[in-house]
Amino acid sequence: MTYRINDETQQIQYRSGGFLNYLSQTRSQRDIKRELLCVAVTMADIYPEENWDFIYGQARLTDIVAVYSFARLDPQFYTTPDEDRRGPLTEKERIIMLRRCIKILLHEIGHLFGLEHCIYYICLMNGANNEKEMDRQPLYLCPVCLRKVYSTLQFDVRHMYKAFVKLCEKYSLEEESIWYRKRLDCIQK
């Protein structure tokens, strides 16, 4: 797999295309009757092309595969091997990291379902090139993107939102739980 040492972090990075190629090439070794899509998850830092510093994730719609990296979501990522690494994450850091991980995963899966980057509203499908942009993204689709996915999959929005409320409550994602509850109140009226 193609890799390099990142100029800024001095840490190894792998080219994301290597992960995507591997998933595509090994598809026949998996149960393709049960596989709707395939996503690689890695702790390695990734980049798509030489002129890019890094990416959080990347999807290849033609092969229905994606990769995303936890690397830069780890608060200790930017520490050097010589620096003391702190102990476990605080509860606040854990929730921030969990929220970011879910956002990236769902964002890449959104691409695999044909969604492009959203330009209409603040949305899960907005592009994110840094932590500030990623943290601005919500953990839900805007009305335009939700309609696009719904028109293809014809799922029960109310049922999905109820499931999301339970998950958000289980993992202490309070902001998202409140948002989904408010939407459920609107849908049920």
Q: Could you give the 3-state DSSP secondary structure of residue 74? A: coil
Rounded Cα distance between 56 and 128, Å, is 8
- Answer yes or no: 108 catalytic: yes
> Which tokens go with 52?
């890019």
Q: Which helix (H) or strand (E) holds 57?
A: strand 57-60
Rounded Cα distance between 151 and 149, Å, is 6
Q: Could you give the 3-state DSSP secondary structure of residue 101? A: helix
Q: Are 54 and 45 spatial neighbours (Cβ–Cβ below 8 Å)?
A: yes
Please name which of 106, 113, 107, 105 lies closest in space to residue 40, comparing C-alpha atoms.
Answer: 105
* Active-site annotation holder among 108, 169, 174, 175: 108
Please give the backbone phi and psi of residue 26, each rounded to the nearest 5 degrees, phi first.
-100, 5
Residues assigned a catalytic role:
108
